[in-house]
Structure 1
Amino acid sequence: MTGLLLVHGRSQELPRRLRADKAQVDAHVAAMTRSWLAGLARGAVLAGHPAVPASAVELPFYGDLLADLVDAHEAAGGRRPDLESLAAPGRAPAARTDAGTRTAERVDAATDALVLEAAGTLGFARPEGFGDLLGNGVVRRALQFLADKTSTPQWIIERFLRDVAYYLTVPAIRGPVLAAVRRGVDTLLARGHADVVVLGHSLGSVVAYDLCRSLDVPVRALVTVGSPLGLPAVRRNLPGVSDPPALPGLAPPAGWSGPAWINGYDDRDVVALVHPLAPLFAGGRAGIRDERTVNPSGPHAIEDYLADPDIAGPVAAALK
């Protein structure tokens, strides 16, 4: 049977005092896996498929790793992204010699771009004047605009976009996270699975796409939900990605009909504001199937995304 790799998003870390306790970490990962499988079971049954067995699933946990890497980066001199410090369009940044400062500036710029692009999707009017940009905190106003439009607290939006920026712009963070998720594939292979379906949520959808571009194992389907991959700043900052970005190499199972990349989004999900994905990727109109859903528990809720039969059905079908 094909293995199923679940790639979670940000903000999944344990409290720092518990991160070295293997029993606590294992219990946390087991609870996350059960939650995902519960949603999948509801959606799969509605689509006419049996529930996905736990034996076919692996959820590589990188939540503590990401939190520790960000902490270490900041402790070494890399500051947190400052949403007030937006450089005007076309203005070159001042020359710096400190590597940590240059890295922090890349994170700042990427975070600012993510905020402005997300707000622009909902109609935020970006001021044109250079002085207005630097003097009145345009990024902070864009963040407030996003919060008002989506009923999502500013701190949640800011932390999410900051972590996406860290993953995209700091190789010392992206590399270990990607390697941790790749080890999940190795675990599935060691259990006897010869191929995989990759399912990513939120930041995990970016990691999943990143992984699938270079994975040397057949990927039968890629499923992304609540994904920020529609934001131009995300696609621009993924290393080695062209414009428009290419589809990952997927190998759907025999008898598969239609695109092998399924992308689910809720119109109210602040993380997935730019949708659908199909027009944004080279060959996407033929290679990506976008599914609009309405999540009753919350626009970004993973259990609700997976309970949609149009999302869970293809997952279950690809695992046969």
Structure 2
Amino acid sequence: MGSIVVVHGVRNWKRQVSPSVAAQSLADSWQLQLTAGYENAGLRHVEVPQITAAYYGHLINDTEAQGIDESAESLSAAEQSAVLAWLGATSLPTEPAESQSWGGLPLRQTIDLVARRRGIAAKTVSRIAVAFIPEVYRYLASPTRRAAAQQAVADSIEASGTSVLVAHSLGSIVAYETLHARPDLPIRVLITLGSPLGLPEAVFDILNPAPVGGYGARPPKIAHWTNIADSGDLVALPRRLGDRFPVDVHEEAHMAAVDFHTLSTYLSCGLTAAAIAPHCT
């Protein structure tokens, strides 16, 4: 049976269990979702690869993280700045009057403007900001957490021996930096799902290694890189990573009206199964 390592994104911290139990719990649920993806891709007779979960949620969170307050105004000043950078990439104004005031709008008004442009509730935009930005910020702002998360991913890869890495959301940032820091790892195929790697200011401009000339470097040992984005995913920005990274294949489709950024949505999609299957036979 083939095998893959899957790197999770935000909101996967399991507070009261050991890292090994948390990783196995995630892998078990992902296995079911990927099996559904294989069925959706018409690959019912193809063996689904065994998943190893690269779990790092406990390394970038603490006892005060993931609270119940879903208001973007509850975030720190630095996190709110990251939210504004994300909102700017999410829905840049096109009308002159809006363009003139975009940079000076308070956070709540900016959220309302983006929500109107995207045709979704402002509460939904705020909830996504609170779920996504704090963990991304904690990872990128702390060298200690950054190194620990990368080590967890490297350990999972070494334990599995696989050459295929699937990384979702924040996990694509951790995976990208890990593969650059550890070119000795056996990964040759990278599949990114709902990736914010190209997000200006909040992510792209502070990656390690730093982009050169507005372009991110390909991890040195990667022979094939596929990026998949839900066309409505507010986190996968810009969706076409090929504009900023040497991606070989970009796939984009409408997958879900509500759960457009969840890993379960991506794993259950036939596009993901079709990207994985040729490398796990």
TM-score (norm 1): 0.71
* Partner amino acid, structure 1, of 2:248: I
Aligned positions of 1:141-180 closer than 5 A = 141-148=109-116, 149=118, 150-151=120-121, 152-180=124-152
Q: SS of the counterpart of 1:199? A: strand
1:196 pairs with 163, 175, 183, which one?
163
1:212 pairs with 174, 179, 184, which one?
179
* Partner amino acid, structure 2, of 1:209: Y
Q: Match of 1:51?
A: 47
Work out the CA distance in 1 between the residues paired with 2:127 and 2:270.
Answer: 32
Aligned: 1:265 with 2:229: yes
* Partner amino acid, structure 1, of 2:5: L
Q: SS of the counterpart of 2:62? A: helix
Compute the displacement of 1:238 (Å).
0.8
Q: Match of 2:200?
A: 232
CA distance change for structure 1 residues 108 and 142 in 2, over 3 Å: closer, same or farther? closer
Aligned positions of 1:68-217 closer than 5 A = 68=62, 81-82=75-76, 109-120=81-92, 125-128=98-101, 133=104, 137=106, 139-148=107-116, 149=118, 150-151=120-121, 152-188=124-160, 193=161, 195-215=162-182, 216-217=184-185
Work out the CA distance in 1 between the residues paired with 2:114 and 2:137.
Answer: 17
CA distance change for structure 1 residues 121 and 182 in 2, over 3 Å: closer, same or farther? farther
* Higher alpha-carbon deviation: 204-213 or 151-160: 151-160
Q: Match of 2:254?
A: 294
* Partner amino acid, structure 1, of 2:193: V
Please list every run of 5 or more consecutive structure 1 residues that lacks an aligned counterpart in the other structure.
Answer: 72-79, 84-104, 253-259
Work out the CA distance in 2 between the residues paired with 1:166 and 1:182.
Answer: 19
Compute the displacement of 1:2 (Å).
5.9
Compute the displacement of 1:185 (Å).
1.5
Work out the CA distance in 1 between the residues paired with 2:152 and 2:187.
Answer: 18
Work out the CA distance in 2 between the residues paired with 1:181 and 1:224.
Answer: 15
* Partner amino acid, structure 1, of 2:231: D
Aligned: 1:310 with 2:277: no
CA distance change for structure 1 residues 179 and 111 in 2, over 3 Å: closer, same or farther? farther
Equivalent pair of 1:221/1:251 in contact (CA under 8 Å)? yes
Work out the CA distance in 2 between the residues paired with 1:161 and 1:239.
Answer: 18
* Higher alpha-carbon deviation: 270-279 or 37-46: 37-46
Compute the displacement of 1:39 (Å).
2.4
Q: Match of 2:10?
A: 10
CA distance change for structure 1 residues 271 and 122 in 2, over 3 Å: closer, same or farther? farther
Aligned: 1:41 with 2:35: yes
CA distance change for structure 1 residues 159 and 319 in 2, over 3 Å: closer, same or farther? same
Work out the CA distance in 2 between the residues paired with 1:289 and 1:180.
Answer: 27
Work out the CA distance in 2 between the residues paired with 1:51 and 1:37.
Answer: 12
Work out the CA distance in 1 between the residues paired with 2:147 and 2:155.
Answer: 12
Work out the CA distance in 2 between the residues paired with 1:251 and 1:230.
Answer: 18
Task: Say how many residue pairs are matched.
Answer: 261
Equivalent pair of 2:235/2:261 in contact (CA under 8 Å)? yes
TM-score (norm 2): 0.79
Work out the CA distance in 2 between the residues paired with 1:3 and 1:122.
Answer: 46
Q: SS of the counterpart of 1:4? A: strand
* Partner amino acid, structure 2, of 1:240: P
Compute the displacement of 1:112 (Å).
3.5
Compute the displacement of 1:43 (Å).
2.6
Work out the CA distance in 2 between the residues paired with 1:110 and 1:170.
Answer: 15
Tell me the percent identity: 26
Q: SS of the counterpart of 1:68? A: coil
Larger radius of gyration: 1
Compute the displacement of 1:289 (Å).
1.0
1:64 pairs with 50, 58, 77, which one?
58
1:244 pairs with 215, 220, 223, which one?
215
Q: SS of the counterpart of 1:219? A: coil
Equivalent pair of 2:61/2:135 in contact (CA under 8 Å)? no
Equivalent pair of 2:55/2:153 in contact (CA under 8 Å)? yes
Work out the CA distance in 2 between the residues paired with 1:236 and 1:12.
Answer: 25
Q: SS of the counterpart of 1:120? A: coil
Work out the CA distance in 1 between the residues paired with 2:48 and 2:93.
Answer: 36
